[in-house]
Amino acid sequence: MVSGSFVLVLFLAYELGVRFGSGGDDLVWRTGLDAGLRLLLRQQGNAYLEWLPCVVVAVGLGVYCCLRRKDRPPEWLGTWAGMIVESFLVALPLLAAARSLGADTITSVPPPGTKAQPKAILWSSLGAGVYEEFVFRLVLVSFLTGIGKWLKLSLWLRLALMLGVSSFVFALAHHIPPFSEPYQREIFVFRVLAGAYFAMLYWLRGLGVAAGGHACYDILASVS
């Protein structure tokens, strides 16, 4: 439950920060995945549809917290503080890998083709951690793990399936309209590696550290 509640706090901070800080053009403040979905839904002509991603993530995190309610820590704030520190620490190896591949400035914030104000980077980075880890780790990795168990694959084959498919889909998603990016081999390879890294963080340390590490990486990559 502590992992889910940590991500839920990040989610609330992101939505409130965008809501009260964007000054109208909220897509510039939102992370690529969230902004893309909202733009596509907004184009359908129904103002309420664009809130669908927010509702799905909120309900999904709520269900996740309920399913793990027995994992309550004895002290919430201390646990969350430790997760924040760990999130920054796990972001450092990924930042080093990005620099070695020449992809250290590549993040999901702001959405490609837009220009965000410096103060928007924090909120957009939180959104990247929440939305992308929710979709590509909590949902996709869990689905692939379930498929592996259903097929009665060994642990190592399930791990290979989970890492291979989820990391490739994660990298590929950055090239889907409306905020698609031109293909560059080095960047695509880095994103595959990043997807595998976040999947392992999710597998070993939980959703909270994966989402926090993702957000911290985007913040560090954006300001460094």
Q: What amino acid is encoded at 134 in this protein?
A: F
**DSSP label at residue 200:** H
φ, ψ for residue 22, nearest 5 deg: -75, -30
Whole-number mean pLDDT of the chain? 86
Collect contacts of 144-149 with beta carbons under 8 A, ≥24 apart. Answer: none
What CA–CA distance (Å, rounded) separates 206 from 61?
A: 13
Q: What is the pLDDT of residue 182?
A: 79
Residues in the chain: 224
169 contacts 140 by C-beta, under 8 angstroms: yes
Q: What is the pLDDT of residue 212?
A: 96
Task: Out of 31-40, 78-87, 112-121, 215-224, give the one with best mean pLDDT.
Answer: 78-87
36 contacts 179 by C-beta, under 8 angstroms: yes
Q: Which residue has the higher pLDDT, 182 or 154?
A: 154
pLDDT band, very low/low/confident/very high, at 205 (cuts 50, 70, 90): very high
Residues 6+ apart with CB under 8 A from 117: 28
Q: What amino acid is encoded at 175 in this protein?
A: H
Query: What are the residue ranges spanned by the domains of the chain?
Result: 2-223
